[in-house]
Amino acid sequence: MNLVWFRTDLRMADNPALLHALETGESTLALFVVHPEQHQHHGEAPQKLEFIKAHINDLVKRLGQLNIQSLIEVAPWYSDVPALIEKIINQHQVKKLFFNANYWLNEMKRDEAVIQMSQQSNVDVKTYHSQYLLPPGSIRKSDDSMYHVFTPYKNKFIEVLKQRYQLPLSIPSEIDADVKLPDLLPEEFNSPQWPVGEKAAVERLKKFAKNNDYQQERDFPAIDGTSSLSPYLAIGVISAQQCLAHVLKQQGEPAFNSTWVSELIWRDYYNDLMYEYPRLAMHKTFKPNAVDHWYHSPELLDQWRNGQTGFPIVDAGMRQLLAEGWMHNRVRMIVASFLCKLCLIDWRQGEAHFMAHLLDGDLASNNGGWQWSSATGCDAAPYFRIFNPTTQSKKFDPDGSYIKKYVPELRDVGVKEIHDPKSNTRSLAMYPQPVIDYKSARQQALAWYKDNPVN
């Protein structure tokens, strides 16, 4: 009996653990384990757990069509997993265990314990790479050290990727099977914006790869100019390899150098950094001597969290996060710069708030983005690069459509005023006054960063 352990790979296509298990021709059992306490301990969004449960249920049904039986188990903590899998091994006479590798500290410790237990039980363990375009550690400098600047990393990455690129593994052929399904997980996820299922994710990918003008539209939050695939990538409903394959199919080899593929490479880069420097998973700054004492202002932090800063583009983004569990990437940069560089509040407060609400919450990418914004991270934005929220708003939401969608009290405000409403307009619209003065806050930030070096 084979056992395939699904984790951040909730799909059938391009899933090497599943497909190699099926190639053996032996009976195969699928295992799904949810970790509610561990999930909560990591500060991840409750709706993300519901999204995971919904996709487990969907995948269990589809595996049933291949005559593959599934087990759905609950293990509160990662440390509970080895004993759980040992029990399954004994009950089902498992001879081979297949799973795709994870690369973060707690997950690797869990997997090492499972591998050790399995080997003691004379179970052959097969692990595969599937979560990123390249395994961590694939891209090194000539002295075998990790790149600390993204551009040379990306250039080397593309060179290696072209040499190693292979088409994604195909999906198994579904058969008309009648398998008794296990008791499915109770789920509360219901969002038209994020339809559940591998097929829905692939259709979204195909549509984006065929019709997108990402380079021109990606920075405008009112436009459907991004792929919106990040929630599916975060839990492995689709793979980065599938994303690359669909873009290559539409654009050919030039796609390797496209802006969207560059964003996929950023995802690998942040994962590589967390793999190389586990301290990043422990709330440490990447730069060892970076500033690490920040202003403490609970009231200002709550105003930011709740979208009540009086800066429309910031408030629109924060309200979108609360309402949808997602935020446009350009707006993520704006709200992060506002918190860290204009309010001088610890980036970890923003990192935690994002993880607590994001459907696409990803430890490495979220940490990398926040440390980039705060100037404490690897190849971060320099301390003096401070986004002006009003200028950003005028440039990337020129007619105020995005603002009006999420800040409805401003929907009747004219285009000339909506980015920086005047006091009388704010009063009539019941919209808050700005919580900071941008010019003075910027000068304060520049002086503060000079007194508290980030290098």
Q: Is 224 annotated as a binding residue?
A: no
Q: Is 279 annotated as a binding residue?
A: no
Q: Is 302 annotated as a binding residue?
A: no
Q: Is 369 annotated as a binding residue?
A: no
Of the residues 263, 276, 409, 417, which is catalytic? 263
**Cβ atoms of residues 260 and 182 within 8 Å:** no
Annotation marks residue 304 as catalytic: no
Annotation marks residue 306 as catalytic: no
Q: Is 232 annotated as a binding residue?
A: no
Of the residues 5, 326, 370, 372, which is catalytic? 370
Q: Is 70 annotated as a binding residue?
A: no
Q: Is 265 annotated as a binding residue?
A: yes
Annotation marks residue 294 as catalytic: yes
The residues with which 70 forms a beta bridge, in sequence order, are 30
Of the residues 5, 104, 194, 294, which is catalytic? 294
* DSSP-assigned letters across all residues of 120-146: HTT-EEEEE--SSSS-TTS---TTSPP
Annotation marks residue 347 as catalytic: yes
Q: Cα separation of 316 and 421, whole Å?
A: 14
Q: Is 111 annotated as a binding residue?
A: no
**CB 313: neighbour CB atoms within 10 A?**
32
Q: Is 361 annotated as a binding residue?
A: yes
Please name the residues in contact with 364: beta carbons below 8 A apart, sequence gap of 6 or more. 104, 267, 270, 271, 273, 274, 280
Q: Cα separation of 192 and 273, whole Å?
A: 34
Please name the residues in contact with 279: beta carbons below 8 A apart, sequence gap of 6 or more. none
Longest alpha-carbon distance in the chain: 75
Q: Is 295 annotated as a binding residue?
A: no
Q: Is 167 annotated as a binding residue?
A: no
Of the residues 106, 329, 388, 452, which is catalytic? 329
Annotation marks residue 372 as catalytic: no
Q: Is 228 annotated as a binding residue?
A: yes
Of the residues 77, 266, 324, 452, which is catalytic? 266
Q: Is 266 annotated as a binding residue?
A: yes
CA angle at 345 for the pair 149 and 391, rounded to the nearest 5° = 70
**Torsion-angle region of 97 (φ positive above 0: left; ψ -120 to 50: alpha; else: beta):** beta
Of the residues 347, 366, 367, 372, which is catalytic? 347
Annotation marks residue 263 as catalytic: yes
Which positions are annotated as active-site residues? 263, 266, 294, 329, 347, 370
Q: Which residues are annotated as a binding site?
A: 214, 226-230, 260, 263-270, 360-362
Q: Which residues are annotated as a binding site for FAD?
A: 214, 226-230, 260, 263-270, 360-362
